[in-house]
Amino acid sequence: MAEYMVIRGGRPLEGTARLPAAKNSVLPLLAAALLCKGESVLTQVPRLSDVEQSVAILTALGCRCQWRGRGLAVDGAEAGGDGALPEGPVRAMRSSVFYLAPALHRCGRVQMPMPGGCKLGPRPIDIHLDGLVKMGARVQWQGESLTVTAPGGLHGVDYSLRLPSVGATETLLMAAVLAPGQTVLRGAAAEPEIADLAAFLTACGARIRGAGTPLVQVEGVEALTGATHTPIPDRIVAATLAAAVASAGGRVKLLGCPFEPLAPTLEILCRAGCTAEHGGNTVTVSREGPLKGVGRVYTGVYPAFSTDAAPVVAAALLTAAGHSAVEDTVFENRFACAEGFSALGGRAVRCGRALEIEGVARLSGADLRAQDLRGGAALAVAALAAEGESRLFGLAHIRRGYGDLAGILRALGADAACRRE
């Protein structure tokens, strides 16, 4: 019995939405809790399938995990074992890579298959591994299975990342906080989720400077205690809802939504004809009149326009009169959703890493299938502007990052629900 989301488009969105905690912060934070000898509590954790997979990995490594209302407690006191990570959860998401450094510190070795996750192009982990090797780790591949050991433990290093990988920066930060000596990470990624991870680790006793900038310095400490921490809000959910308003029309107020991380997305949507106001931690996005094309826009590493926001913004531009092109400089296969856009009657053609769009006057409901997390959300955003009924299959992809996206949209007035065939 396949489950799908049914959306009847043509209704503007109205109302208020409070942003959930950021998936891309919660996932590395959960891995970081494994570094701690005591209990950590993340006060706001969305019920996402990737969070459930993280709990499975932490439990397999001897941590005690307990949901406390919307919070999640992880006690690392008893963590240990042989560092063999459970295959299923590791293959289910890219974020299993975050367990490399913490498990190395707690177990002395890690054995895992290649992490899974959205098929956005080749997603090697060479920078994660190269940095760990420079810190004293040894890496062995047996086919697709990886074993990493650190016979003499890890030590500080002055390391330049060959590109500002978000995950590799987080891996090397988690390796450095318990590695004796000083670590310098040059060319680190600067995403807000990295500063959030550093804030948690600092609350646990780590000594970190410069997280959230391209130059990070760490002084290794003996042990980390654990801490209570509220993860930052999800800037990609914010971008998704802003694009949904652009697509459907209407007016939505986003609560708990810092302006800065959303600014590049809002700039593009306002160029297309939306209005955005912000104050304190609230951003209000509205769209009344018709949208117009925005020309060529590019994603980039933070603080540029986020690669994760590219598909949902492209969805909103399908009905923007004239030409738009969205080029992803980060991943090669960001626009698998182009097939669904065409099924809706959109004129969107993939050209290398870019999606070339000619706006159309109307979209018509169709059967759609999510190929990845953000592309799936983009199909829902596009369906909001389509006349008639669309059925969106492949909800497992969307559940990795949004929980109940249909419920979030329905609460804003969309005609959206989940059904079983």
Residues serving a catalytic function are 118
State the Cα angle at 292 between 409 and 315, rounded to 5°: 35
- The pattern of x and - marking residues 47 through 86 that bind ligand EPZ according to CB under 6 A reads ----------------------------------------
Q: Is 374 in the site for ligand EPZ (CB under 6 A)?
A: yes
Q: Is 128 in the site for ligand EPZ (CB under 6 A)?
A: yes
Residues 6+ apart with CB under 8 A from 36: 74, 76, 204, 224, 225, 226, 227
Tell me if residue 25 falls in helix, strand or coil: helix
* Cα dihedral 222, 226, 229, 234 in deg (nearest 10): 70
Angle between helices 23-33 and 49-60 (to 10 degrees): 10
Q: Is 324 in the site for ligand EPZ (CB under 6 A)?
A: no
Q: Is 308 in the site for ligand EPZ (CB under 6 A)?
A: yes
Q: Is 27 in the site for ligand EPZ (CB under 6 A)?
A: yes
Whole-number Å distance between alpha carbons of 236 and 52: 20
Among 4, 34, 53, 123, binds ligand EPZ (CB under 6 A): 123
Tell me if 109 sits within 8 A of 148, measured CB to CB: yes
Look up residue 182 and give its two tokens.
């000083």
State the Cα angle at 129 between 116 and 109, rounded to 5°: 85
Whole-number Å distance between alpha carbons of 208 and 306: 25
Q: Is 331 in the site for ligand EPZ (CB under 6 A)?
A: yes
Q: Is 353 in the site for ligand EPZ (CB under 6 A)?
A: no
- Residue 220: φ, ψ to 5°: -60, 145
| Closer of 249 and 376 to ligand EPZ (Cβ) | 376
Residue 78 burial (10 A CB sphere; 0-12, 13-18, 19+)? exposed
Q: Is 307 in the site for ligand EPZ (CB under 6 A)?
A: yes
| Closer of 121 and 290 to ligand EPZ (Cβ) | 121
Q: Is 337 in the site for ligand EPZ (CB under 6 A)?
A: no
Among 2, 77, 163, 215, binds ligand EPZ (CB under 6 A): 163
| Closer of 126 and 158 to ligand EPZ (Cβ) | 126
| Closer of 189 and 274 to ligand EPZ (Cβ) | 189
The residue assigned the tokens 């063999």 is 84
Query: Residue number with the shortest CB distance to ligand EPZ?
Result: 167
Smallest distance, Å, CB 388 to ligand EPZ? 29
Q: Is 401 in the site for ligand EPZ (CB under 6 A)?
A: yes
Task: Work out the number of other CB atoms within 10 angstroms of the CB of residue 339.
Answer: 15
Distances, alpha carbon 336 to alpha carbons 187, 406, 407, in Å? 30, 21, 24
Q: Is 127 in the site for ligand EPZ (CB under 6 A)?
A: yes
| Closer of 47 and 362 to ligand EPZ (Cβ) | 47
- Which residue stretch of 6-14, 123-131, 145-153, 240-248 sits at the interface with ligand EPZ (rule: CB under 6 A)? 123-131
- Which residue stretch of 74-82, 163-171, 275-283, 353-361 sits at the interface with ligand EPZ (rule: CB under 6 A)? 163-171
- Residues engaged in binding ligand EPZ (CB under 6 A): 23-24, 27, 94-95, 118, 122-128, 163, 165-168, 189, 236, 307-308, 330-331, 373-374, 401
